[in-house]
Amino acid sequence: MLKYILKRVVLAALTIFLVATITFLLMNLVPGGPFVAEKSISEQAQQALNEKYGLDQPLIVQYKNYMKNILKGDFGLSLKQRGRTVTDIITSKFPVSARLGGLSVLTALLIGIPLGSVAALNRGKWIDSVIIVIATCGIAVPSFVLCTVGMYTFGVNLGWLPTFGLTTPLHYVLPIFSLSFYPTAYIARLMRSSMLDVIGQDYMRTARSKGLSQFISLFKHALRNAIMPVVTYVGPLLAYTLTGSFIVEKIFVIPGLGKEFISSISNRDYTLIMGTTIFLATLIILMNMLVDIVYKLVDPRIKLK
């Protein structure tokens, strides 16, 4: 087990290092550097700026400095938001995205798991068909479609829900709905097939032959086994909600890290792009690692190996 954890940690560290390197190289691929777009500055001023941000040094030196700073958690200054460090921007914007993402993950799990189980237990009946249809449509509708359609119907047309910002609980309804719809549908499908698999297992027959009621054999014996595949999906789910928040935050004008990332791309704010990418990538990689390790801990079949 310890060996497994060690392996995962090394793998995660390697991946993070790789992502940081790729990010650095890609950013340097852009010809002319970050100040080209601003035509107004003179050559002298540009040189001064390059010097200030260390962009005049050879690539390898830049890379070394950059890596050193990252290790310290220092992503440098934002190029476009004068006077603010990237770290500062991330720490102020991320909590908003984290709250939104966390609530969406929770919603997806709390709705998807029961939905999938109910479908499996009523296999072939009308309720199963209804859930299958909803789940199949759910994974086919892109989140931006959901966002805009939801915003238009409930926000603009009916006027029931606010369409931008994140100030009251009511503001959360549409963003969370848009963000959690796909994972809910996915989890429901996953849970349904895994539940069907578990119901057919021999130990379920044993449970019934012991005289356990349907309810107890399902809750005690089936659920715990059937939920395992869903646990493995939690990692990708977190990644999905974090990146999915780009679109949701953009459409609903939510001041989170996702919106910041999108505007940093259109503003060509290099340091902010690099910082955000590395921060989010690290977060996703670490979350994935944690979920994998927790999964191994939860599943007793692998415990002592």
Partner 1 sequence: MTKKNPISFHLSVEDFMPASDSEKQELVQMRPSVGFFRDAMIRLFKNKVAMVSLVFIILIMIFSFVIPNYYPYTYNQQIRGSEYLAPMQFSDQELARREAGEKVFPHILGTDNLGRDYAVRVMVGSRISLLVGLIASGIILIIGSVFGSVAGFFGGWVDLIMMRIVDIIYTIPDILLIVLISFSISDPLAALSKLPGFQWIQIVGANLISIFLVFALLYWVGMARIVRGQVLTLKQSEYVTAAKALGASNARIIRKHLLTNCIGTLIVTTTLQIPSSIFTESFLSFLGLGVAIPLPSLGSLASDAINGLNTYPYLLLAPAILISLIILSFNLFGDGLRDAFDPKMKS
Partner 2 sequence: MNDNLVDIRNARLSFFTPAGEVKALNDVSLFVREGEVLGIVGESGSGKSVTAYSLMGLTAHPGRLIGGDLHFNGHHINIMTERELRKMRGNEVSIIFQDPMTSLNPVYTIGNQITEVILLHTDKTKKEAYERARELLQLVGINEPERRLKQYPHELSGGMRQRVMIAIALACEPKLLIADEPTTALDVTIQAQILELMMDLKKKLGMAIILITHDLGVVAGTCDRIAVMYAGKVVECGSTDEIFYSPSHEYTKGLLQSVPNIYEKERKKLVPIEGAPVDMLNPPAGCPFAPRCHSCMKICLKQMPGYTNLSDTHYSACWLLDKAKFEKEGEARNG
The residues binding partner 1 (CB under 8 A) are 11-12, 14-15, 18-19, 22-23, 26-27, 29-31, 136-137, 139-145, 148-149, 151-152, 156, 189, 192-193, 196, 239, 242-243, 246-247, 250-251, 261-262, 265-266, 273, 277, 280-281, 284-285, 288-289
**Can residue 195 be called a binding residue for partner 2 (CB under 8 A)?**
no
Among 52, 64, 99, 303, binds partner 2 (CB under 8 A): 303
Looking at beta carbons only, is 130 or 139 nearer to partner 1? 139
Looking at beta carbons only, is 212 or 282 nearer to partner 1? 282
Q: Minimum distance from CB of 196 to partner 1 (Å)?
A: 6
Report the site for partner 2 in 196-225 (rule: CB under 8 A).
Answer: 201-203, 205-213, 220-221, 224-225
**Can residue 299 be called a binding residue for partner 2 (CB under 8 A)?**
yes
Q: Minimum distance from CB of 239 to partner 1 (Å)?
A: 5
Looking at beta carbons only, is 17 or 203 nearer to partner 2? 203
Report the site for partner 2 in 223-252 (rule: CB under 8 A).
Answer: 224-225
Find where tokens 């959901």 sit: 146
Q: Minimum distance from CB of 235 to partner 1 (Å)?
A: 9
Q: Minimum distance from CB of 28 to partner 1 (Å)?
A: 8
Q: Minimum distance from CB of 210 to partner 2 (Å)?
A: 4
Looking at beta carbons only, is 139 or 223 nearer to partner 2? 223
Tell me the DSSP string of the chain: -HHHHHHHHHHHHHHHHHHHHHHHHHHHHSTT-TTSS-TTS-HHHHHHHHHHTTTTS-HHHHHHHHHHHHHTT---B-SSSTT-BHHHHHHHHHHHHHHHHHHHHHHHHHHHHHHHHHHHHTTTSHHHHHHHHHHHHHTTS-HHHHHHHHIIIIIIIS--S--S---SHHHHHHHHHHHHHHHHHHHHHHHHHHHHHHHTSHHHHHHHHTT--HHHIIIIIIHHHHTHHHHHHHHHHHHHHHHHHHHHHHHTT--SHHHHHHHHHHHT-HHHHHHHHHHHHHHHHHHHHHHHHHHHHH-GGGTT-
Q: Minimum distance from CB of 277 to partner 2 (Å)?
A: 39
Q: State the Cα–Cα distance between residues 4 and 185, nearest whole angstrom.
A: 32
Binding site for partner 2 (CB under 8 A): 201-203, 205-213, 220-221, 224-225, 299-301, 303-304
